Amino acid sequence: MLYYTSKNQNGEIEATYSGRFAFIHFKQQQDYEAIHSLRKGNDLKNLWMKGHEPDVNSAIRILAHEYTHKNIFSLSKTGLVLNGYRFWVRIRFLVSKSTRCLADYYRMRAIYFMETRSYHEKLASAIDAEFDSSNASIEKVFKKAVKHHYQDTIHLGEERIRDKWKAMGFLPGIVKEKLCYFFGRWLQENFAIKLSYRDKCGKWVHGSFADQGITNDIHTIRSKENWFARVEKTVLSNFFVRPLVWLENFDNRFEWYWIGQRAQFQVLQEKYDMDYQYFWENILCPNAFFIMEWAGIPMRYRHTLMEFSEDTLLLDRDAFMSKWEHQLDQWKRDHDVLNYINFFYQHGN
């Protein structure tokens, strides 16, 4: 449950960025409509520039902040390698049921976010503050801030991540790293917003919109697309996406959640001396609450899901299954709770 976040004045999380997707829960449908009305040609860069203007809708400012995180993330080679590695892990996990590489990925992810969260949040906030008090364009403000911070902040962070990965035996070989970097950069450039809101009838709506990118609208063929883009989408859809979807089921999603959350917490304990109380107060609770809000989890389930999330970390597998097996079997048919577990699986968090 480690992310880059946007928080309101009360310290509540309003949005997160995972390195691949940004997740935003709009309090009102009109907030979503304000963003949707500004989209031009499926390009979020326009919203990034618009979101720093005075007196702009708060939802647009939140989105602009997350897009700043996206641009900061693009400067990190280890982050892009991790993005590509996640996709390889997903394929291996579904095809061969390998759980070791899944645990390794989440350990690498925990190290990466612990080493980058601080400078990410400071740099994103500095860019926001500079833009608010400057007449320069957002691109110039961003480049200036990055130039000022890169050498002694981002670069040193990259070195620490590599050292920790190497010490734990996770540093990939040269060829594998290059492939992961290439694919991870492609995925990261195809930035997408995963959104949720209640419509005017009270119905929970989930959706997404994205930058131009094959991976974001793989099932959508546009009239103005050239033949290469059409072929690329057809190949990816029929030879990669559909076969993997056929292998997915509730048990796979739960296993991904279980292994991932435990592996991350193990690293936080062993490498960062983080005790459970601190983790519960500063990471688990605020992020779990945001995910429940984003997923539209009814209030009647929230206490149970918090207990479920805690037991994931505190109980061994036998004790956990003894307590939760019957409940898990019921949840397989409950779309409300499925949204919570699927959040971790679908988006690799």
Residue 221 lies in a domain: no
Residue 340 lies in a domain: yes
Pairing type for strands 21-25 and 204-210 reads unpaired
The per-residue pLDDT for 269 is 95
The per-residue pLDDT for 147 is 80
Residues 207, 221: Cα–Cα separation, whole Å: 18
pLDDT digits (tens, 9 = 90+) for 276-296: 999 999 999 999 999 999 888
Pairing type for strands 21-25 and 13-17 reads antiparallel
Residue 43 lies in a domain: yes
pLDDT digits (tens, 9 = 90+) for 178-201: 889 988 888 787 777 888 888 888
Residue 229 lies in a domain: no
pLDDT digits (tens, 9 = 90+) for 250-275: 888 899 999 999 999 999 999 999 99
pLDDT at 326 over 90: yes
| C-beta atoms surrounding 201 within 10 Å | 7
Q: Model pTM greater than 0.85? A: yes
Tell whether the torsion through CA atoms of 128, 18, 153 and 88 is positive or negative: negative
How far lies 92's CA from each of 86, 128, 160, 285, in Å? 10, 40, 28, 31
Residues 346, 257: Cα–Cα separation, whole Å: 10
Residue 196 lies in a domain: yes
Residue 93 lies in a domain: yes
Mean pLDDT, the chain, whole residue set: 82
Q: Which of 145-154, 205-214, 255-264, 288-297 has the lowest mean pLDDT?
A: 205-214
Q: Which of 45-54, 55-64, 292-301 has the lowest mean pLDDT?
A: 45-54
Range of the domain at 165: 4-216+248-346
236 contacts 245 by C-beta, under 8 angstroms: no
pLDDT digits (tens, 9 = 90+) for 301-320: 899 999 999 999 999 999 99
Residue 224 lies in a domain: no
pLDDT at 221 over 70: no
Task: Give the orientation angle of helix 250-272 with respect to helix 77-96, to 10 degrees.
Answer: 140
**Residue bearing tokens 């009239």:** 223
Domain count, the chain: 1
Residue 235 lies in a domain: no
